Amino acid sequence: MREEGPIPGGNLPVAPVDSSDRVPQADVKITTLIRNSAVNLGVAGPLRALRAAVLIALCCAAPTAVRCPASDDAASVDAAEHERAIRMQRFMVSATRISKNPWRYAAVDGFEVLSRAPEEATDWWLDSIRLGVAVENQVVPRDWLPESPVPNTVIIDDTDLSTVPDSQIRSQSIVFQSPDDALAWGRLSGKAAVWTDRFEAHDQDTYAVNSDVYGVDMTTPACVVGLVRMSNCAPPLPRWLVEGLLGKECGVFREGVMANVDDHRAGWIQGAEGPGTTWLSLGETQRLLKLLGKDSKTKVAMLPLQRLFGENPVPEADRALWASEAGLFARWGLMGPGREDPATSRAFLELVRRARREPVNERLFTECFGFGYPAMEQRLESFLKAVLAKPTSMELNIPPDSSEPELRDATADQIGRILGDWLRMQGISLRAADAELSREFLDSAGRMLERAYREDNGLPPDVDPARGGERHAAQARGTASGPAVVMKPFVVSATRIHDPRLLSVYGLYEHAIGDDAKARELLEAAARQGVVRPMAYIALAEIRLALARAAPKGAGGRMDSQQAASVLGPVRTALAQNSSPEPYRLIVETWENCDAKPDSEDIEDMVRGVALFPRYTALAYHSALVCAKSGHAAQAGDLIRNGILFSNRESSRRYFEQLRSSLDASAASNAKAPGKE
C-alpha cells in the first residue's frame, strides 16, 4: 500500500502502520500425538533441520531441466525458453511408479489421504485423526472451529528411514516418548507417551502433514487432535486464549489428553485426562507445591487481569507469568467452573466472543460475569491451588466409528498435486529460516509436479510435450558416462492439465518461484474451471494487480476502473471461500492505486474486513485512508477509532491521530466553502 497525496482540506498522513498487532492465523499447529488413546493440541516445537535434495522415494529425478526461481532479467528467461538448448548427460530413470508400495488415495472427513503404508497402518493413523476430531468437537466450542472449504492433507509413508541418506527429504517419523513434565501428569505419567516434534506445512486455506509410520507400535489406539481449525476464525481468537490453550509451557493442551475408552460400551470414549496446571516453570511448580503443603493459605502472586487481557505486547519479564495465568484461565473456563456451571460457561463464552472484536477492560468483563477483576483474581488463585500439577479431566460421550475409508489406487494427478503442494508449502515456510533449504523444497515440488504432468499426458521423461509428443533431443558429443542429450527447456501448458486442483497447485508453485507469467496461465485456467482454492484466487489477483500497476491506464499513473475490476474479480471469489484478511487487503490496495472511486459494495467490504480482523491495524489505516479520499468520511472516522483502539504502539496511534486531524480539517474546510453557509 503506497503513499497517497492530499485531499481537499489537508494532507492525509501516510506511513506504514505496523501490522504486528494482527493475531497471526497460521500459528496454531498440530504437534503432539499421545498413545493409549491420547490427544494432543499444542504449539509447534522448533522445526527440525531437514537436509533436502529429493523426496525419498516419492519424487524421481527426471533428465530434464528443473525450473528455478525466475531471473531478474525477464528477457533472458524468454530467450532461454525459446532459443537456448540445455546439454545434459544421458541417464535412465524409470517413468513407472515404484512398485513396492503404490500410492493409494481416499477422501474422508475433511481430509485428503495419500498413503503407501500397509492397510492396517493407514487405518490406524486415520482412526487416530478421526477420533481426535471427535474429541476436539466436544471439548472446544464449535464456533472456534470453522471448517475450511479446502480439505487438509494427510500423507502416510512406511519407509525405514535408517536406510535413507540424511541428504534426502523424508517424511517425519512418529517417535513416542515420556512427557517432559511428568509431574503435571500425576498418576498418568507412566502411561502417556507423546510425540512432541510434529510439524506440518501451512497455507492460508489448508495444511498438510507427512508422517512415517514405519516401526510404530499400532497395537494400542492413538488419537490426534488438530486445533488447526482455530486458525480459520474470523475474527481471530484473542491471543490470551490461544496461549492458554496451546502455550508450549502452560497451555491446557500443550501435550495432549488421554482419552478413556469404555470397553463395556464397545469402544465409546467416556472421558479424557491430560497434563495438569503448571506455574511459571516445573521448578517453580514444585516449590509452590511444597509451600502450599506447609500452608494452604500461602499467597500466590497473580498477574492483574488488566495485563492478562491487555492489547500491548507482554514484557519479557512478565511472559512466564502471563502464559501461566492464560493457561489457568482457559482451564477454569473450559474444564473448571466455566464448564460445570451453565451461567459461568455462558459468561466465559460471551467474554471470548466480545474479546474477538473489542479490547477487554473491567467494564466489559463485569458485563459478562456480573463481577469485576478483583473477584475473579481471587477465584483464579483458589482454583490454582486446587488444580496445581493435577491432571485435567473432562467428560466425553463419543461413539466408536467403524466406517472404513475407501482407499483406491492414486492417479498421477493426485500424487503430484498432494505431494507437490506439501513440498511447496514447506518450502515457503522455510524461506525466512533457511533460504537454501527452502529452495531445495521448492525444486523438489517442481520435479514432483512436472512428473505428474508428464505421466498425465503419457510422456516419457525426455519428451517436450509442446511438440506433440515428439522426441525433442539431439545427440551430442558424449563422455565416459555415455552420449549427452541436448534438450529444450520443458514447457508446461495449462491446456494439457485436466484437474483444476492440479492447475491451482501448479500455478501457486510458479507464483512461489517468481514465474508469474506461467502462474497466471495456470491460475486463470483453474479459475475458469471454478476450482475451490482461495489461495489460487488471491495469487491470481496479486498477479493482475502487479501487471496493472506496472502498466496503468488511468490518470496520474494509476489504474483505471477496468483494471481494478480485473483485480477484484478473483478477490470476490476468494472472499466467498476464505476467512483470511488477504482478500480485504487486496481490495484496499487496489483502490489505493486506482483513479476511480470505490463503490458502496467495496466500501462495505473494507469496513467488514476491519471488523473481522480488528487487530490488523495496517488494514484499518489504509481502509480509512481510501474511505476518506473517496468521500466516505463517516466510515473513515469509524475505522480510525478502531485503529486507535487496537494500536499497541504509540507510533501507530500517532498516525491514526494525524489522519483524524486531516479528516476533521477537510470537513471544516468543506463547511466554510461557498454555498455551505
Write the DSSP assignment of 161-185 as a string of letters: GGGS-TTSB-PEEP--B--TTHHHH
Q: Phi then psi for 616, rounded to 5 degrees? A: -90, 80
The reply to whether 367 falls in a domain is yes
Q: Is residue 404 located within the same domain as residue 381?
A: no
Task: Give the number of C-alpha atoms closer than 13 A to the C-alpha of residue 29, restricted to the C-beta side.
Answer: 22
**pLDDT at position 133:** 84
Least confident segment among 237-246, 252-261, 595-604: 252-261
Q: Please classify residue 65 by burial: count the beta carbons closer than 10 Å to its beta carbon, then call 0-12 exposed, 13-18 middle and 19+ buried.
A: middle
Distance (Å, whole) CA 591 – CA 565: 10
Residue 125's CB is within 10 A of a number of other CB atoms, namely 23
pLDDT > 70? residue 216: yes
Residue 346 clears pLDDT 60, i.e. is over it: yes
Which residue carries 499444542 as its cell? 42
Residue 152 lies in a domain: yes
Strand order in the sheet with 257-262: 38-39, 257-262, 268-274, 392-398
Classify residue 252: in a domain, yes or no.
yes
Mapping DSSP onto H, E and C, the string for 84-152 reads: CCEEEECCCCCCCCCCCCCCEEEEECCEEEEECCCHHHHHHHHHHHHHHHHHHHHHCCHHHCCCCCCCE
Nearest to 420 by CA among 441, 403, 404, 405: 441
d(CA 11, CA 154): 53
Task: Give the pLDDT of residue 257.
Answer: 62
User: How much is the pLDDT for 265?
Assistant: 57
For residue 416, what are the CA distances in angstroms to 105, 432, 501, 505?
12, 26, 11, 9
Which residue segment(s) compose the domain that 367 sits in?
A: 279-390
Residues 368, 315 share a domain: yes
109, 222: one domain = yes
Quote the cell numbers at residue 16: 506504514
- Please tell me whether residues 159 and 99 are part of one structural domain: yes
CA atoms of 587 and 584, how far apart (whole Å): 5
201 and 213 fall within a common domain: yes
465 is a domain residue: no
Q: What is residue 231's DSSP assignment?
A: G
- State residue 175's pLDDT score: 73
- If asked whether residues 220 and 338 sit together in one domain, one would say no
| Cα–Cα distance measured from residue 57 to residue 168, given in angstroms and rounded to the nearest whole number | 9
Q: 593 in a domain, yes or no?
A: no
Return phi, psi of residue 547, to 5°: -65, -40
- Which one of 410, 441, 468 terminates a domain? 410
Q: How many domains would you assign to the chain?
A: 2
As a whole number of angstroms, the distance between CA 160 and CA 164 comes to 7
Same structural domain for residues 269 and 301? no
> What whole-number percentage of the chain has pLDDT above 90?
52
Contact (CB, 8 A) for 131 and 401: yes
Q: Which three cell numbers stand for residue 202?
A: 501451512
- Residue 161 sits in the same domain as residue 300: no
Dihedral pair phi/psi, residue 392, rounded to 5°: -70, 160
- Residue 544 CB neighbours (<10 A): 24
Instruction: Give helix then strand counts, H and E, for the chain.
Output: 22, 17
Distance CA 518, CA 506 (A): 9
> Are 140 and 264 within one domain?
yes
Q: Are residues 173 and 297 in the same domain?
A: no
Are both 126 and 192 inside the same structural domain? Answer: yes
Read off φ and ψ for residue 526, nearest 5 degrees.
-65, -40
Residues 256 and 148 in one domain: yes
Domain boundary among 410, 441, 470: 410
Residue 118 resides in a domain: yes
pTM confidence score:
0.81
Please give the Cα distance from 143 to 138 (Å, whole number): 12
What is the rounded average pLDDT of the residues 22-36? 38
**Among the ranges 154-168, 465-479, 640-654, which has the highest mean pLDDT value?**
640-654
Residue 441 lies in a domain: no
pLDDT at 550 over 90: yes
Hey, what's the torsion of the CAs at 304, 306, 307, 313, to 10 degrees?
Answer: 180
Model pLDDT for residues 486-521, shown as the tens digit of each residue: 555 678 999 999 999 999 999 999 999 999 999 999
| Structural domain contains residue 64 | yes
**pLDDT for position 274:** 80
Q: Among the three residues 341, 358, 390, which one is the final residue of a domain in this structure?
A: 390
